[in-house]
Structure 1
Amino acid sequence: MFTVEPMFSANNGVQSTQFRQSFVGLKGNWGEVTMGRQFTPSYWIAGYADPSWAADFSMVNNMEFFYASYRVDNAIQYKTPSFYGFTGRIMATTGVGDSTRAGRFLSTSLDYRHGPIFIGAVSELQYTRDIFKSSQIHSSRDNYFAAVYKFGGFEPTLIYHTYNGYYAYPPYVAFNSQGWDAQVGARWNIDGRSRVYVSVVHRHDDNNKSISSATGGVIGYLYGLSKRTDLYATFAHVKSQNNVPVAYPVTFQVYPNAGQNPSGFQFGIRHAF
């Protein structure tokens, strides 16, 4: 098995230098092993409970994951076969390849699926080089719990996340903090064509120095023109409690300045190839 997912800008068609995913693997009755750039176990746990399915205005992506990883390079992952509804994942990365722990990432997850029920938990540890003092290596720990229950076409979702440590996006952003956040939302497939979703995230930061406690929400509507083509409209807003250097975005395509409480509206058409 192999997967290659290139990315390009919908505005001008320019291809990104980095792939969304790029990995190879083996699959059998014993499970599957994949190697390369790929989604982390937390993506499959928290991402499944994201009512927007990780859309551009996703509050799960933009406020809960924020600068925690949900895709990593040079990763090896083992996924177990399903056993009475339980599936496990273990992931590790090689890091940057020097004698330090910089870039190393470790993750373990367990989820349960049976009928309308989904429950999952994951714990992840990452080592990151200080972007201002390259001799220093910091760590961060993220834990996620997610649950979904399906009532026909209606699915309420819940995510709880704790974070503690150093987070960075070189060379632009770096901060050290700890706290928790929670997401409550739902998605509703009304009639097979019309679909709506709503998601609200509250983030509680213990320090409120680099990042702030905040609440954000998104609501979206999709209408299926065909099996592969949708019209969509989305509105999102984030309200921070404090004026801090690192703000939460509605979308990472347009990053807010310090102290801003951004809002965003999207409408358009998308086609799956």
Structure 2
Amino acid sequence: MRTSCQSTLFRYSLIALATLAATGVYAQSSVQIYGVVDARINSIKTDNNGTLTRLDNSGAASSRLGFRGTEDLGGGLKAKFVLEMGMNNDTGAGQNTTANNTNMGQNLSVGSGSWKAGQTVDASTYRTQGNTPSSSGLGGLQGLTFGRQAFVGLEGGFGEVRLGRDYAPTFWNLSVYDPFGTNGVGQSHNISLGTMHPVGAFIAPPGSAAPGVRSSNAINYFTPTMNGFQANAMYGFSEQRTNCLGVNTVGATDSVANGCDAQKGDGEYMGIRLMYNQGPLSLSAATGKTKYANKLTAEARAIMVQEVGINNGPAQIGNVPFMGDYTAMNIGASYDFGVAKAMFQYGTQKRAAYTNTGYDAAGAIVDTAVVAQTLKHTGLGVAVPMGATTLKASYNWGSRNSTTAGAADLKANQLAVGANYALSKRTQLYATYSTLTAKNGATAALATVSNASSTTQSKKSSGYDIGLSHSF
């Protein structure tokens, strides 16, 4: 009897221990579903195209749905992941993303066929075609894609390493030091990343209408925080066989596999950010560079030379678009006085000179130099908490040199005021009003960066947001 009881007790003990062990393992792991649903009435008035009023999203915070998780690996080491998608809750559609760091799509389209050095080229077979973005990734317009963040990483005493798509170091100073963040008609991005931008929608990362925000295919490293100091460094792979006619010298019909004389690193991103956060004071500085293909390769030029005068070459061959390297540098600071939080940001964004290649009316090859452009932007902001209400105001201004020699610099300035009212820790009402003025050829466009608003370009624009934002 004793043996039977002992055996039964032993079996029950094993079951209990196994249950406890399993419970311990699961307790060390966690997965969370989180997000933001933000809806607003948005109205934008321009001086030349009337007023557009609509129900939109993401006026105070970007609407999103995400999954994040951690696993305790022991010894202070944790595994973690984040998968986060943007969404347009006013229509139910997902937000588009990009497959790589560049929207230039420097892969130059060609037809099938083969070409050998010294041979005559059929222009109907090989065309140095214009810019067809290879990484615009419009799948998000049809369904939800993890375009905001998608990474897996490890965190420990060494800091944190993330692999995948994440925010670029050069983005944060243009966001955290703005009382309106990255959203709505009041955001500083209307100037710093707006229509005066020296690269515009072709900038990388991320190669969309929201330039300089994220990088794909990246290794992102954060140091541990020591006495308030922390550093962040990122490298984004190019992953493109770029600026390439894919000419095959062995006679096969594969237009990509052989003979490709590409410019190395088109779409490659490198950035670093240094931060100090201690008590009421926050300081930060960042710099980053994205490489672009900036001239025609020798192999591509050889084909263009062959095609001059053959089969209406100039009619068959379009211009080859390029872009100069993009470099961003910015600093930011804030100080919380208790009764008010003051914010400051300053940045420069430069697109280097580059050369476009095409044909003139007579069919001759023509190289056109494009001068470098630099945008300088300054922003001042303040947030004043008053119980459940937070009052906000900001003033931003910027200038960019013209591509026309001797012309005045393009200039723009923006004034924004607003208020948030917290209904709870996770739900708020908000209202924002902003006015933007441009001159010397600049364009006034409100909230075209993160929310793609759309009235025709103008010299003066004003608008408001009234909305409700809920996080979970």
User: Where on the TM-score scale, by shorter chain, does this alignment land: which range?
Assistant: 0.7 to 0.9
Partner of 2:310: none
Point out where structure 1 has 5 or more consecutive residues left out of the alignment.
168-173
1:171 aligns with none
Partner SS for 2:185: coil
Partner of 1:72: 215
Partner SS, residue 463 of structure 2: strand
Deviations 1:176-213 (A, max 9, x none): 5213110011112221x101211111102232769821
Greater percentage in strand: 1
Q: 1:21 aligns with which of 115, 132, 149?
A: 149
2 CA distance for matches of 1:129 and 1:9? 34
How many Å separate the matches in 1 of 2:223 and 2:169? 12
| Among candidates 22, 39, 45, match of residue 167 of structure 2 | 39
Amino acid at match of 1:240: A
Change (3 A) 1:62 1:135: closer
Name the counterpart of 1:259: 458
Identical pairs, percent:
24
Deviations 1:106-126 (A, max 9, x none): 101101111111111001111
Please give the per-residue CA displacement for 1:18-41, whole angstroms capped at 9, x wherever unaligned.
421111111111100111111111
> Alpha-carbon deviations, 1:201-257, whole Å to 9, x = none?
11022327698211012211111112211111111111001234xx34211221443
CA spacing shift, 1:135–1:201, aligned 2, 3 Å: closer
Deviation at 1:69, TM superposition (A): 0.8
- One-letter code aligned to 2:379: Q
Per the TM alignment, residue 82 of structure 1 is displaced from its structure 2 partner at its CA by 0.9
More helix by share: 2
Tell me the SS of whatever aligns to 2:170: helix
Equivalent residue letter for 1:37: R
1:41–1:108: 8 Å Cα contact kept in structure 2? yes
Q: Which residue of 2 aligns with 1:121?
A: 285
State the match for 2:350 in structure 1.
Answer: 164
Deviation, structure 1 residue 137: 4.8
Match of 2:376 among 161, 180, 188: 180
Report the equivalent of 1:90.
233
SS in 1 for 2:428: strand
Conservation of the 8 A alpha-carbon contact between 2:181 and 2:187: no
Q: Find the aligned partners of 2:386 and 2:403 in 1 and give their Cα distance.
A: 40
2:391 to 188, 196, 203: 196
Residue 50 of structure 1: SS of its match in structure 2? coil
SS in 2 for 1:138: coil
| Higher RCO (C-alpha under 8 Å, 6+ residues apart) | 2
**Alpha-carbon distance between aligned partners in 2 of 1:135 and 1:53, rounded to the nearest angstrom:** 34
For residues 42-57 of structure 1, what are the structure 2 equivalents within 5 Å? Answer: 42-57=170-185
The SS at the match of 2:172 is helix
2:388 aligned with 1:224: no
Tell me the residue number matched to 2:432: 234
CA RMSD of aligned residues (A): 2.5
| Larger CA deviation: 93-102 vs 204-213 | 204-213
Work out the CA distance in 1 between the residues paired with 2:415 and 2:233: 32
Aligned to 1:11: 90
Contact persistence 2:410–2:440 (CA under 8 A): yes
Q: Deviations over 1:46-76 (max 9, x none)?
A: 3221111222224322211334412121111
CA distance in 2, matches of 1:39, 1:133: 33
Distance 1:206 1:236, change over 3 A: same
* Change in CA separation of 1:182 and 1:208 when aligned onto 2, cut-off 3 Å: farther
Q: In structure 1, what is the Cα distance between the partners aligned to 2:186 and 2:319? A: 32
Structure 2 gaps, min length 5: 1-79, 96-139, 195-199, 201-210, 242-261, 295-317, 354-369
Single out whichever of 45-54 and 197-206 deviates more from structure 2.
Answer: 45-54
Counterpart-to-counterpart distance in 2, 1:62 and 1:20: 20
Contact 2:174 2:189 in 1 (8 A): no
SS of residue paired to 1:109: strand
Larger Rg: 2
Q: Distance in 1 between matches of 2:413 and 2:434?
A: 11
Letter in 1 for 2:415: G
1:146 to 332, 353, 361: 332
Contact 1:217/1:237, CA 8 A, preserved across alignment: yes
Aligned in 2, Cα 1:77/1:175: closer, same or farther, shift over 3 Å?
A: farther
Query: Which residue in the other structure is 2:471 paired with?
Result: 272
- Aligned residue number for residue 363 of structure 2: none
Larger CA deviation: 22-31 vs 60-69: 60-69
Determine the structure 2 residue equivalent to 1:101: 265
